[in-house]
Chains A and B, each alone.
Chain A
Amino acid sequence: MELLVCIKQVPDDSVSVGLNADGTPKLDEITPVVNAFDTYALEMAARFKEAHGGSVTVLTVGGEGAVPALRSCLAVGADRACRLADESACDPQGIAYLLAQASKKAGEQPFDVIFCGSESTDASSAQVGAQVAELLGLPVITNVLALEPKDGGISAKQETEDGYRVVEASCPCVVTIVKPDYEPRYPSIKSKMAARKMPITDLSLADVEADAGKFGPEAAKVRRVALSAPPQRQSGVKIQEKEAAEAVRRAMELMAGQKLI
């Protein structure tokens, strides 16, 4: 099957992000990385390809700065990479529109399955995958843990509150991926060096016939109004009574005081 994985470059989520004086996030010194959920999507696509054949293409929307992210994907299972050159500030629907348009041009053949991370670790809107499906008129299975081909379509394990359920869809379709029970592979020295030499297809807005009224800040239906840092955690209360009965009594008092019991 021909597989497409949509990826986003995000600030490294293992580093805590501060705010500038104007309320924007302070990202200058934070290394950009591929969104963790997209790395799960790529790993799942790569395993799917290795087990059942086909090829994996990665797609992103961004400036020159997004090239290293695509290269790192080429080192861990992607066969081809494609970048739609655009740096306008989009809301999730705008990005979904651009990805949907680009998905029609990114491969030599139409894609059977389009993978997206279930959400990004920066904006966490969790909308893009579903909107790509809507725009392309395709079925979508969200929060997928595992995937296999079935009767020309796919069968997926969809994560639920309690476990998972099995959902099937015909191809082409869109899936959004959550963390499976394995980690994405590390690049080998060889694959990393080979990825340097692999071509990256650049698409322009004209190439994908993007309608200027459907993306970018003007078209955005959702706007970020403000950002705030999470409140600092308050230090907890220590109960230091020596006798167990005393300690329990003190704990009960505290909980009653907070109207928790």
Chain B
Amino acid sequence: MAYLINPEDQDLLDSVREFCEKEIKEQCKEYDVSGEWPEEIYAKAAELGYNGLEVPEEYGGLGLERITVAAIMEEFAKADAGFVTTITASNLALKAVLIGGNEEQKQRCCDLLMEGKHGAFCLTEPMAGSDAGNSKTTAVREGDEYVLNGRKCFITNGGVASFYVVTAMTDKSQGVKGMSAFLVEAGTPGLSTGNHENKMGIRTSNTCDVVLEDCRVPASALMGAEGEGYKIAMKTLDMSRTWVGCGAVGIAQRAIDEAVAYGKQRITFGKPILKNQGLQFMIADMEIRVETARQMVAHALKLMDAGLPYSRESAIAKCYAGDIAVQNALDAIQILGGYGYSREYPVEKLLRDAKIFQIYEGTNQIQRMVIGKSVIGKF
């Protein structure tokens, strides 16, 4: 079972799947080894409009339903989790602008994504990951400008983005209420990027430090009012978590697809290994997990569509999908046995890719804090 999308969009999904099969899946194996950002693949995808899937219709987007975008994102993730990470990260930056930006900022970012450009969301710092309030980056107002100083780390698309949403403290004494958000365009003097991280997985996504050294931006780059940065960031992450869950579902599904394909043709003791009930039960458990996660993603998206609160559901979707992606990847490796452990086969990559889904956009421990608090409430 997949997402229930409207029949017209099925055709759209089929063409995306064809692109993923022919242009991403096999090609990414080589980039997974080299760690190089596959510019050529991203250029082709950009030409087809894959960067602008979440741009709202009123800002020049195509007005796709969220559930259709989810089905497309799952295809991306099935082909390569680094690819979906790049697309999701641009959309993460877009979400922040749509939540906290003014009309001009929204239109600018939507235009850039529709042109096939990328965005980056710069919240994390060396000493401020889950504890984002401990941010050391500062923004000081000087006349009609703000001067930004600090170092952001683990920034997806850091080296390839055209626009950056950067959080910085405008008033340290206020704690998180002294954090503000700025929209900074690539090429702004004082903004530079560090080395591309040599990561365990999602190696086709670009991750690097974003360094701000006396980076002057016009006062109009401020998103919302001073002190609203933390609120914007938290709202953004609340929404984005579901999409991270969606990517994890894609990895978990690919694990099943690979395990089933292999298990049908691998013969031991005179019969295919999937004739053994023990392995059939493993496949069943993998399917139970992936379908549960997928429907949790769908449910959170439905709440967003309905304008209802979705923080808890978004956190559940992200946390559960991240956990089960790792488990399904492990099980796929187990079913492929020695071959599963070999880099000649695709499933070990799934495990390396899946692991980050328990870490980024708030670790799964943070998700459990969010979920726990929302259930227990204040007492």
Q: Is the CB of A188 within 8 A of B19?
A: no
Q: Is the CB of B48 within 8 A of A189?
A: yes
- How many B residues, CB 8 Å from partner? 17
B47 within 8 A of A: yes
Q: Is the CB of A187 within 8 A of B62?
A: no
Q: Which residues of B contact A (CB under 8 A)?
A: 8, 11-12, 15-16, 18-19, 23, 44, 47-50, 52-53, 62, 64
A32 to chain B, nearest CB (A): 12
Q: Which A residues are CB-close (under 8 A) to B16?
A: 189
Q: Is the CB of A190 within 8 A of B62?
A: yes
Give the top 10 A-B pairs by smallest Cβ distance, nearest first: A189-B49, A188-B48, A188-B49, A187-B15, A190-B49, A186-B19, A192-B12, A186-B48, A193-B62, A189-B62
Contact with B along A197-232 (1 / 0, CB 8 A): 000000000000000000000000000000000000
Q: Is the CB of A186 within 8 A of B8?
A: no
A73 to chain B, nearest CB (A): 12
Beyond A75-B15, A186-B18, A186-B19, 12 extra complex contacts between A and B, CB < 8 Å: A68-B11, A186-B23, A186-B44, A187-B15, A187-B48, A188-B47, A188-B48, A188-B49, A189-B49, A189-B52, A190-B62, A193-B12
CA distance in complex: A187, B50 (Å): 11
A250 to chain B, nearest CB (A): 28
CA distance in complex: A101, B298 (Å): 50
User: What is the chain A residue whose CB lies nearest that of B69?
Assistant: A189
A196 within 8 A of B: yes
User: What is the chain B residue whose CB lies nearest that of A193?
Assistant: B62
Q: Which B residues are CB-close (under 8 A) to A192?
A: 11-12, 15
Interface range, A side? 10 to 19
CA distance in complex: A208, B23 (Å): 42
User: What is the chain B residue whose CB lies nearest that of A192?
Assistant: B12
Q: Is the CB of A186 within 8 A of B15?
A: yes
User: What is the chain A residue whose CB lies nearest that of B19?
Assistant: A186
Q: Which B residues are CB-close (under 8 A) to A71?
A: 11
Q: Which A residues are CB-close (under 8 A) to B23?
A: 186
> Could you list 5 A-B pairs, sorted by A, with CB under 8 Å?
A71-B11, A187-B48, A189-B49, A189-B50, A190-B62
B27 to chain A, nearest CB (A): 14
Tell me the interface secondary structure of chain B in the complex.
helix
Q: Which B residues are CB-close (under 8 A) to A190?
A: 49, 62
Interface centre among A72, A75, A193, A196 (most CB of B within 10 A): A193
Q: Which B residues are CB-close (under 8 A) to A186?
A: 15, 18-19, 23, 44, 48
A28 to chain B, nearest CB (A): 18
Q: Which A residues are CB-close (under 8 A) to B12?
A: 189, 192-193
Q: Is the CB of A189 within 8 A of B64?
A: yes
CA distance in complex: A186, B22 (Å): 10
A65 to chain B, nearest CB (A): 14
A41 to chain B, nearest CB (A): 19
Q: Which A residues are CB-close (under 8 A) to B8?
A: 196
Q: Which B residues are CB-close (under 8 A) to A72?
A: 11, 15
B131 to chain A, nearest CB (A): 38
Q: Which B residues are CB-close (under 8 A) to A189?
A: 12, 16, 48-50, 52-53, 62, 64
Q: Which B residues are CB-close (under 8 A) to A188?
A: 47-49
CA distance in complex: A72, B23 (Å): 19
CA distance in complex: A163, B272 (Å): 47
B8 to chain A, nearest CB (A): 6
CA distance in complex: A71, B8 (Å): 11
CA distance in complex: A178, B16 (Å): 26
Q: Which A residues are CB-close (under 8 A) to B50?
A: 189
CA distance in complex: A196, B47 (Å): 19
CA distance in complex: A22, B36 (Å): 54
User: What is the chain B residue whose CB lies nearest that of A194?
Assistant: B62
Interface centre among B12, B15, B50, B62 (most CB of A within 10 A): B15
Interface centre among A68, A188, A189, A190 (most CB of B within 10 A): A189
CA distance in complex: A142, B313 (Å): 60
